[in-house]
């Protein structure tokens, strides 16, 4: 199977079976999404969604958050991973939003990554989800799943994965494909015990096909 055939099969299956894939983070504005995505780093969306209602109730705008001190923000985010650094990043991010962008969340990767605590993955999520521009955010799920199923080969880092996916996925599907891969990795192609028997894209999965071939070879050896 060629890489082109694998992409076509996987995209076709997801397009038919999961056409409306979206983020599981709860938000109402670009500011709220940015805060939620920053908190979601190495943390579950479920946990973030439990934290953000009270956080947004206290700091409904970037101006409110910019006026806070990290110690106060910490009390609202202490149940997420790395709360100390995230509290500091959130405050510094908000202050830059106010000082440089007048409270407006920028809509380009280049501008977003000038904000404290905002890396390329977070910036791509914002560009794709909040502003509906073509972008491929690569988190741990996307990185793992893309390599396992064969959309990438020996990818060394998220940027390599991003470039490989962008090269083969139609621009208009990049944002949706990001969620396809995240949700697939979260619920089906899990890190330790992937649910291959329940996987709709198994016919195009490189790892699954390798395992089936190895199983068939082993069975043939036993019967020989």
| The domain boundary residue, chosen from 107, 130, 153 | 130
pTM: 0.87
Measured CA angle at 102 (ends 96, 105), to 5 deg: 70
The whole-number pLDDT of residue 222 equals 65
Q: Does residue 146 sit in the same domain as residue 193?
A: yes
Q: Is residue 224 part of a domain?
A: no
The whole-number pLDDT of residue 87 equals 97
The whole-number pLDDT of residue 1 equals 82
Report pLDDT digits (tens) over 190-212: 988 899 989 999 999 998 888 77
**48 — pLDDT class (breaks 50, 70, 90):** very high
Q: What is the CATH number of the domain that holds 57?
A: 1.10.340.30
Q: Report how far residue 209's alpha carbon sits from residue 211's, in angstroms, rounded to the nearest whole number.
A: 5
Q: Does residue 55 sit in the same domain as residue 124?
A: yes
Q: Does residue 13 sit in the same domain as residue 99?
A: no
Range of the domain at 54: 30-130
Q: Report how far residue 118's alpha carbon sits from residue 90's, in angstroms, rounded to the nearest whole number.
A: 9
Q: Is pLDDT at 40 greater than 70 in this prediction?
A: yes
Q: Report how far residue 31's alpha carbon sits from residue 38's, in angstroms, rounded to the nearest whole number.
A: 11
The one catalytic residue in 45, 86, 139, 197 is 139
Q: What is the CATH number of the domain that holds 193?
A: 1.10.1670.10
**79 — pLDDT class (breaks 50, 70, 90):** very high
The whole-number pLDDT of residue 223 equals 63
Q: Does residue 123 sit in the same domain as residue 201?
A: no
Q: Is 121 a catalytic residue?
A: yes
Residue 7: both structure tokens together: 């992409």
Q: Report how far residue 204's alpha carbon sits from residue 207's, in angstroms, rounded to the nearest whole number.
A: 9
What distance, in Å, lies between the first and last C-alpha atoms of the chain? 28
Q: Does residue 69 sit in the same domain as residue 118?
A: yes
The one catalytic residue in 45, 46, 86, 121 is 121
Q: Does residue 70 sit in the same domain as residue 16?
A: no
The whole-number pLDDT of residue 108 equals 96
Q: Is pLDDT at 71 greater than 70 in this prediction?
A: yes
What's the DSSP call for residue 121?
H
| The domain boundary residue, chosen from 99, 130, 161 | 130
Contacts of residue 94, defined as CB under 8 A and 6 or more positions apart, other chains included, come to: 59, 62, 63, 65, 66, 68
| The domain boundary residue, chosen from 106, 130, 154 | 130
Q: Is residue 205 part of a domain?
A: yes
Q: Is 217 a catalytic residue?
A: no
- Left, alpha or beta for 204 (phi > 0: left; psi -120 to 50: alpha)? alpha
Q: Does residue 45 sit in the same domain as residue 122?
A: yes
- Residues annotated as binding site for [4Fe-4S] cluster? 189, 196, 199, 205
Q: Is residue 221 part of a domain?
A: no
């Amino acid at each position: 199977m060629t890489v082109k055939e694998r992409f076509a099969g996987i995209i076709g299956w997801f397009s038919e079976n999961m056409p409306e894939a979206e983020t599981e983070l709860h938000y109402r504005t670009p500011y709220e999404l940015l805060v939620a995505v920053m908190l979601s780093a190495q943390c579950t969306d479920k946990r973030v969604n439990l934290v953000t209602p009270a956080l947004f109730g206290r700091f409904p705008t970037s101006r409110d958050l910019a006026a806070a001190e990290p110690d106060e923000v910490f009390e609202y985010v202490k149940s997420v991973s790395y709360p100390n650094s995230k509290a500091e990043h959130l405050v510094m991010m908000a202050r830059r939003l106010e000082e440089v962008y007048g409270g407006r969340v920028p809509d380009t990767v280049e501008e977003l990554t000038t904000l404290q605590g905002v890396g390329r993955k977070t910036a791509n999520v914002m560009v794709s989800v909040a502003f509906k521009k073509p972008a491929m955010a690569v988190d741990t799920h996307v990185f793992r799943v893309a390599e396992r199923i064969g959309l990438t080969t020996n990818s060394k880092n998220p940027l390599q994965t991003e470039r490989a996916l962008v090269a083969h996925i139609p621009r208009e599907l990049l944002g949706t494909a990001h969620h396809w891969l995240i949700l697939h990795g979260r619920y089906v192609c899990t890190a330790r015990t992937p649910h291959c028997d329940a996987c709709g894209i198994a016919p195009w999965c490189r790892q699954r096909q390798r395992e089936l071939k190895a199983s068939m070879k082993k069975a043939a050896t036993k019967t020989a």
